[in-house]
Amino acid sequence: MRPTPSFRLGFSALTRRMSATASTTREDLPPSSIPIFTAVHEYRAWRQKAFDEKRSVGFVATMGALHDGHLSLVKRSLEANDLTVLSIFVNPAQFAPHEDLATYPRTLPHDLAMLSSVSHSVPVSNTDLPSALRTPSALFLPSVKEMYPSGISQDISNQTGTFVEVKGYGEQMEGKSRPTFFRGVATVPTNAYFGQKDIQQAILLRRLVTDLHMSQPSPSHLHIVPTARDPRTGLALSSRNTYLTLAEREKAQSFYAALKEGAKAWDAGESKAECVRRAVDVLVDAGARPQMSEADSEARGKEVGDDGEGEPEVIIKVDYIGLNDASSFAMLSDGETRLSWGGGPVILNGAIWIGRTRLIDNLVLGDARQVLME
């Protein structure tokens, strides 16, 4: 049965009242049925009114270029909260000087259309109406100047202002290949829904709110939702997938297959080194050059892929494949096995380049419920 439209208005009335302060100064914004806040003080006023009325607020942080993976997070928030806010902010602090800040996809009209299409029906008590419809309540769309009033440089040596770094956590996994990335992430902690693909961000933020004794959000309010994948290939959904050609997209499916092969080896009692080797072998079979050295797979920067006549076809580079403790991100020793390991869940994770596109993915091995906390 379709939700009753009149009761849907009841849920949106608070948003309408609180959106009176929504930005009207940005003439470049496309039309939207969802209130858009471009200033921090506007959003804070909106949020305070929600809290004053004892409405729970779910938050989904994104960099835009929305896809079904983002929408799955929005739906999860709609299910659990009275109000749901999504942010779109391409954060320069999360990009090194050589990374794709300038070319990162920015698709605001498309994003607004996708966001407007999401809803969740909830039962209603003490009324004759069968259900009510929750829809996204607001979009937070700040500029770089708004978030960094003093400016921000992609060169970390030139950055000024206050940043928070979580030592011992940001240097592992993705932090090893992208040493400045988590400095930007930790600067904007929030009560949020994360996709498992970005598991290191979420666990790092849980650590941050614990260490800083924040009363809100608590670590249990930072939810990690299983990665949304292409139903045919298993490729993790990502905004950067739009960079891939059709041929590259076909090759990219070997990444998920590689992680599954590594997970199978771990479950069978093989060592960490064998687990990583099996995963790499799948990538090698797909055209990647085998890794050259270092226990946690070092094939960084090695171009591969050839059509037999010396012309590159689809180039695959393995950045890293690793197996890390899910609570500390510490790398497991080569000889560690599932039977000898007593530290709880581990994360089989990696990054590869397909052509000019860098992809990340991971699988949680062991009791994923200890990590995901959906």
Nearest to 39 by CA among 24, 52, 55: 24
From the candidates 67, 70, 98, 213, which is the catalytic residue?
A: 70
Amino acid at 10: G
Q: How far is CA 28 from CA 19, 31, 32, 38, 346, in A?
A: 18, 9, 12, 12, 46
Q: Which residue has the tokens 């929750």?
A: 134
Q: 269 exposed, middle or buried (CB, 10 Å; 0-12, 13-18, 19+)?
A: exposed
Residue 110 annotated in active site:
no
Edge-to-edge, what's the strand order for the sheet holding 57-62? 36-37, 138-140, 83-88, 57-62
Q: Do residues 46 and 18 make contact, with C-beta atoms less than 8 angstroms apart?
A: yes
Strand boundaries in 209-354, DSSP class E: 223-225, 316-325, 346-354
Q: How far is CA 65 from CA 75, 83, 164, 169, 239, in A?
A: 17, 22, 27, 28, 6
H/E stretch holding 43? helix 40-52
Cα–Cα distance measured from residue 299 to residue 293, given in angstroms and rounded to the nearest whole number: 8
Q: Do residues 177 and 320 make contact, with C-beta atoms less than 8 angstroms apart?
A: yes
- Please spell the DSSP secondary structure of 149-192, one letter per residue: TT---SSGGG--S-----TTTTTSTHHHHSTTHHHHHTTS--S-
What residues act catalytically?
Answer: 70
